[in-house]
Structure 1
Amino acid sequence: MFLPTTVAELRTTSRLLDRARDILATRIVYVGHPGYCSNGGHALSVPAAIWMAHTGALRPPTTFEQDACDHHPGDRPEFDQHTEVAQAIRFLSTCVAHDTGYLINEENDYLEHLCNWPASTPTNRITYTSSRLTNEQVMDTITDAAEHAAALADQLERTTARTAPAAA
């Protein structure tokens, strides 16, 4: 997985995050184990919502209800085979990590981080207490990240236009 770096990649990330937020608005944010969802997809993890936003699927595959968050990179074909999904997951995870001080150590941590983030967000860095985020808080954060990706795309587009050589 890698972060989006082009205007097109950033715009795709923004659109996927917007769609994932819309999907989560009609469901429950899933933070349990095992897997990425429960109740046939009525409760979805953030990565599962991003996957559904990309594929257009109305329900997640049944494999998402199995043990999933502890897999290693390459063991998650549903996520790994879609570059756009991987970029959106990593972008959102990076935004959340920046806001919460979460330290991502390995490639696998991005996916695991977003699976667990809504249930284990620190509320007090001195006492290390945490609380579960509401669905609304999760969706607000996704909205902020989508807007950030769009703003970065705009900024990159303006910078590229200013530095492009003039046509002969």
Structure 2
Amino acid sequence: MLLQDIWTVFWRDWIVLQRRLKKFIFSRMVAPLLYMVAFGWGLGRSIQVTDGSYLDFLVPGILALNSMNISFNSVTPVHSERIYHKSLEEYIIAPVVPEAFVIGKVLAAVLRGLISSAIILVLAVLFGAQLHLTPLFLLVLIVNCIIFSEIGFFAAMTISTYEEMGQVNTYV
């Protein structure tokens, strides 16, 4: 029953993401593309790094930053669902256990973080980065997305105003 409830919450967020997937992908490409052009190709050509190019050095940092931000920010709409739209009450009265709601929302945010990470990896390869992806790297990326989506969910459930989310984002 718990897995079915988790799937129901996750599936709802997946349907929403599918409808906005093109916008999601293009919006996730902008900042990494600017970083890669400015620092990878522009300033990066004049910087010497011992192993590989500066772009090879830069991409994991862009990937980490982006996966943290996307995972965190993908769960923060729960705050507006809770405070402004009152749609959180729909989940409360639905035959879905609260743990399933939390896990489903966190997994949906992790998926968004991983999709945006995949976009960055594709862009990095197109820019000529030589990346060495290991199972440990992918595990750390997934754990990173899980941790920051959980932090975002906790913040969304505990803050009382939308302005406080910016403060939480700054501190995190």
Structure with the larger helix share? 2
Whether the TM-score (by the shorter chain) exceeds 0.5 is no
